[in-house]
Structure 1
């Protein structure tokens, strides 16, 4: 019997809620419902889009700094503070142990050497990064503007091939196929001809303004290094969240007189800026959720006051305060549900549109990329939907308690 009464009460509350939500003939009620739905829609849509943009920013920037410099760099441990690496003999045992580790994606040798490019009556100081045929070109290929990467098939020609950034190409008025001269300040002064075979753009100012990519063998020859000498190792790990763990592994296997630095030390400004994005995301979520909740509270209060006479009649017929409260909570749940559906369509729609078309552009010099990046995370989307529904319903229990304050006699007389 008790179960039947509960079921009847639930059906009663649900039925009345449906009637006053979607079948109401009152123009003002319909307007309030539509405004409430619009508030939830915009709130959830903006929250989904904001998180997708924040995650996209972090992923893109992280990939740019990791892609060019790796996660861990190993160089000689000395007092050399210049741009030119101090040479050391390749550590075969270290290389083998690192490459065998499942946590390491790759470990490749490199060296850097400062130089001066002279072309089209323009002069620019650059830093030549020398790599060999084992270098992982994935990042640079993904950021190519024109041309190709250095080809190591022909040893003689590869020493003359050079990749420059779009920034340097614009400054020096260079294009694919141009021949240039690069001067290396040493005793005696060395001059080498190069051919531009590729133009890349990472949108990271510290990289694009200074770096050019060439053959490691050329740097060895200029510095009179032995064939088995290099300037350092560039190590990329499989899971970036394990940088500290892998760093300890690298440190434990390092030969004497070698040291390591992580990407955090190489690009400190960027990694100080990235956490601020999380703060912005939290502020945005709180503000949008507050707007949605306030909007729903206002709508619910107005609907309760508008239905004062109906509440009085139901109370006079024996309905409990909780039965009537449930009517308005069901009503709110219907409105929130529709708002969530439309909010998902809005947020996901705009995210997918931007992801496919890159219609919204950015100033690459300020934001490290030319367009607004998007990265959707289904855990975020589910969490936002569930969180919005629960928080709104919990908060709305407070205004629904206004029902208990309404007297049946006064309510029936209320117009």
Structure 2
């Protein structure tokens, strides 16, 4: 054991240390570190959690990427069909990292009731559709089954169900236009088997989910013709890389579009959370660092006579600085421990009990404030905070080099 660490340990363990003039200031410094860690943990966990939740909602209804025809169609309706006879369908085995691919088609129509009507897009899906994502948003009823014969089962959002006074088990008529105005419209009768609520109003007010064969029949498409493909990937962080790979693996007459391109405004909005989080982290580290600098300065001034004695006995300036830096390391570590314990306790309570909710769920697309807890950012945050604080504490420790042994030993 080196003597600097030995002296620092004796100082920390002494009763005089705990009852000295600097004790309240030291406690304030530890508290500042703890509060800083708590605030930073909450900022990161809620920021990432909200980004992840909003992203999952959009991806659930659209996939990470879509494969479409090259055309000028920017509406929600499928106009130009794509053949399912592709090398990448039904299994995209040529590219590693593709989780699932499914065929869908959409057609605009109007729901008609005795008292009201609503324009809506029928999203047709087939037996290859992965219901795993939508199952999370099911609030009433059951998922439809399109694996056998053509049926009239549909899923509708709770937003539309409330507007049109629909319940599970109700039936309604939906009117679809034909190619020319002179032709009589298509009228289809649908039965509601499930109600979903994504919390994402742009989706909830736009789509209902039904059998893709209805869209194929109304558009006079063949059984192997669909509107577009939805592709799900394993790692969202590889979205741009996967987009380039999938585009290269598809025929030249097909185009790809990422979910970030399709919902550009939404994804630009959630990226702002990163800037807010970085700002909070910077402010909290600076505040905690300033408090620890103050505490270390008080400790140095309080031990001026000891510094003079150590210098007179031949200790170097760096050796004495190490004693106080060891002391500061203990204080920073104590603050980090308490901050992590309290911060993680709050985050786990929010994750499993949903104590805090947004006052305006429609604005944030979720009702309960989501949190994402990951060991990666917890370790990175603690290591970064510790290093930043220790670097800042090097500055006040320079004062030790200015202290004269003679004057220090006469200091009272």
What is the TM-score of this pair, normalised by structure 1?
Answer: 0.90
CA distance 1:126–1:407, change in 2 (3 Å)? same
Which residue matches 1:165?
157
Matches of 1:241 and 1:168, distance apart in 2: 33
Any residues of structure 2 matched to 1:10-21 within 5 Å, and which? Answer: 10-19=4-13
- C-alpha distance in 1, partners of 2:192/2:117? 16
SS at match of 2:215: helix
Long gaps (5+) in structure 1: 1-6
In the alignment of these two chains, the number of paired residues is: 406
Q: Deviations over 1:320-370 (max 9, x none)?
A: 433432232121111111111111102211111111111111232111211
Distance change (3 Å), C-alpha of 1:119 and 1:413:
farther
Secondary structure, counterpart of 1:28 in structure 2: coil
Q: 1:123 to 1:29 in 2, by over 3 A?
A: same
Where does structure 1 differ by over 6 angstroms across 4 or more consecutive aligned residues? none
Counterparts of 2:317 and 2:10, CA distance in 1: 14
How far apart are the structure 2 equivalents of 1:97 and 1:253? 14
Q: 1:370 aligns to what?
A: 367
Name the structure where helix makes up a greater proportion of residues: 1
- Change over 3 Å in CA distance of 1:83–1:97 after alignment to 2: closer
- Residues 167 and 192, structure 2, Cα contact 8 Å, conserved in 1: yes
Consecutive unaligned residues in structure 2, runs of 5 or more: none
Contact 1:13–1:324 under 8 Å retained in 2:
no
The equivalent of 2:98 in structure 1 is 104
For 1:126, the equivalent position in structure 2 comes to: 120
The equivalent of 1:213 in structure 2 is 209
Q: 1:327 aligns with which of 323, 326, 329?
A: 323
Most deviating of 31-40 and 259-268? 259-268
Map 1:179-218 onto structure 2 (within 5 A). Answer: 179-186=171-178, 187-218=183-214
SS in 1 for 2:86: helix
1:221-232 map, 5 Å? 221-232=217-228
Q: Which whole-Å CA distance do the structure 1 matches of 2:274 and 2:18 have between them?
A: 46
Cα deviations by residue, 1:79-125 (Å, 9 ceiling, x for unpaired): 44443212435242333485223332111111101111123622211
Backbone CA RMSD of aligned residues: 2.3
Q: Deviations over 1:270-295 (max 9, x none)?
A: 22223222211211111111011001
Q: Which residue of 1 aligns with 2:274?
A: 278
Quote how far apart the aligned CAs of 1:142 are.
1.0
Change beyond 3 A, Cα 1:242–1:308:
closer
- Once residues 326 and 248 of structure 1 are traced to their aligned partners in structure 2, the CA distance between those partners, rounded to angstroms, is 53
